[in-house]
Every structure is written in structure tokens, then in C-alpha cells.
Structure 1
Amino acid sequence: MSKGTLLVLTGASSVGKGAIRDCLLEDESLHLFYSISMTTRPQKETEKDGSDYYFVDRKTFADAVRSHELLEYTQFDGYYYGTPLAYIDFLLRIGKNVLLEVEAQGVGQIKLRYPDALSVFVVPESMEELEKQIRERYNDTASADLRVNKASMEMELSSLFRHQVKNSDAQKAKEEIARMLAEHKAKAKG
């Protein structure tokens, strides 16, 4: 049995990674399993524990960090987010393809453990368009400012990624990433 492929999707805050992720997961031909992250932030009414995130308290999260149970983790807006490692290891070992959606600064930690992972940075049409999207999405000026600043810093990291895709249309971005994934898998087979 061949080892699975790890696809890491990242990009600037509010660039539309979630929409692309959903398109990728809907394409059954890609055989992708989604890795659910752990977070200390409160659960929203529309979210399901174990489906959208694993919602945990700070002690549980800290214990997972101390026990090296997380592949990567980060903090934003006072809350912690991380990727449980055991599930990913298991899926890859049995030949499954795994999709991770993470913050850009977490990709370095992932590449240390999985150097053969395919990481794709999603970029916006323009920073002006991204800022407009953020301001429309977050009514609170302080929250919008925080996310615009975060997105600007994350865009600085985009040049470190060999694989980038512009999100002008989630379906087109998905198709481009699917092509990259097929090429990556073919290259890995030799």
C-alpha cells in the first residue's frame, strides 16, 4: 500500500480558503480526508464539535502541546488553534490523502515532519479587494483592522511558497490545486 499525500492549504486571513477547501472535499475523485483542528475559542451556534473543530478548554489544549500531540499550533485573537497529529499519521500510513487548512506560519512546522507535503498558498485578487472583503465581513472596526493587519503580514509569507493559487473563483482554484496534487503524486511515484 502506498503512503497517502498531505495537502496543506494556507493563505491570507479571509482570502477564501474555506470555500476552496469545500470544493476540494466535494470532489470525490481526489479522495481527500479533512483534518479537523482543535481550538480554545467558543463554539458558534452554527458549528458542530468534532465536525467544524474540536472545541476544548485551555488546559486540554496546553496538555496536547506539552504531550507533542499537535502537528502545529498558533494563537490568534486570544484563542489557540492546532492540528491533532495522530489522525493525520494514521490516515497517511494507510494510504489516504489528507487536507489541512492552516495558518501560514504553521506550514513550517508541518514541513519539518512531512517534507513531501504539497503546500499551496491562496492569494487574493489584490490586497485592496481582500481588505474590502474583510471590512464587509466584520462590522466591528477593531476586528476588521486586526484581520487586515494579519492578512498583510501573511501575504509577506506568500513568496516562500512555490505553489500559489489566486482565488478569483473557488471552483477554478480547486481545479488548479487538483492539477497540482496530481502532478505532485505522479512525481512522488517517480
Structure 2
Amino acid sequence: MQKKDPAELTIQAFADHHVITPPNRLRNVVRLIDEKNLDDPIALAEKALAGLSDEFSKWMAIECDRLVAAHAAILKNGFTPATRDELFRAAHDIKGDAATFEYPAAAAGAESLCRIIEHSPALDRVPTELIAYHINAIQAIVREHASPGTEAIAKEINRKLRLVADEYLATVNQDRPEHLEAILAPSIAPTE
């Protein structure tokens, strides 16, 4: 049997169908490497993160400052679509970045704040203390995260924040069952 050129289109005809085999142009771009030189992409990513880890505390401080500034804008101007969105984005970014930046306990408080913003029917009626408690807790968790014994304290603070937020959201959403289901769902943020 004669070898076919892989860059050539082949068509095989059968009584009831045709099989078309397109050329395999990937063979020209694939680089074969020796098995002893395999790069582990996960190890490479972890190595890159380790190189950046000195910056994590600065980046987390910037995220907290952004959250505080968003809250200050709300206190000054009230809830507008712009101030609401900035507060939500700041809290959401902390929720997403906390584990990567080695502040996993900050994620739960940020998630709880996001839930309040998402599920409150009227943000201007949310008790200002409830939002302030979340922001203060996130700041404290970030500020004190390296201190001994703070993990248990942060876990308890987050548990209480979530409890108070859930109680508030369940009360204000009594006539909105589609929100109650989301409110009563378990947290997706890491708790440990």
C-alpha cells in the first residue's frame, strides 16, 4: 500500500456514503519534545505565583481601599447605579482574589456583601450598619490575617456576617420567592 501525503484531501466513496478526510496540517506545527523535558504547566504557574507573592499584601490593600472608597461614595451620594456597581465590583473582586492573594478568610465576608447588594429589593433601605460591618470585617481580616489565632476569629466573624445578612435578606424578600431560593443556598466562597 502506498503512503498518502497528509496534506492531501482524500475522499473514499461507498455505495451509500462518502468519507472525506481533510488534510492534517497540525503535523507541521506540532513540536515533539523528549519526555524528560516535559513542562508541568501547573508547576510553572505555581512558581510564577510564588514569585509574585511579595506583592499580594499590597494588592489586597488596594482592593480594600477600593471597597472603602466605594462605600464612602455611597455615604456621600447615596445609592446610584454607578455607586452600587462599584461597591459590588469591589466586593466581588475581593471575593475572587482573596484565595489567590492568600487571604481566603476575606472571601466569605465579601461574598456576603455581594449577596446583600444582589438580593436587596431596595439598597437605600439596607441598614448602613450592615454594609459597614461587612466592610470593617473584611478590612480587619486582611489587616490581621498574619496574626496568630486570627483564622478562628475570622471564621466566626464571617459566620455571623452571613447569618445576619441571610436573616435580613429573608425578611426583605418574603414576597420574592425566586430570591429566597438563592439566599438560602450554601456559600460558594471558601470558609477555611
- Give TM-score scaled by structure 2 length: 0.25
Between Structure 1 and Structure 2, which shows a larger proportion of helix residues? 2
Could you say which structure has the larger radius of gyration? Answer: 2
- Give TM-score scaled by structure 1 length: 0.25
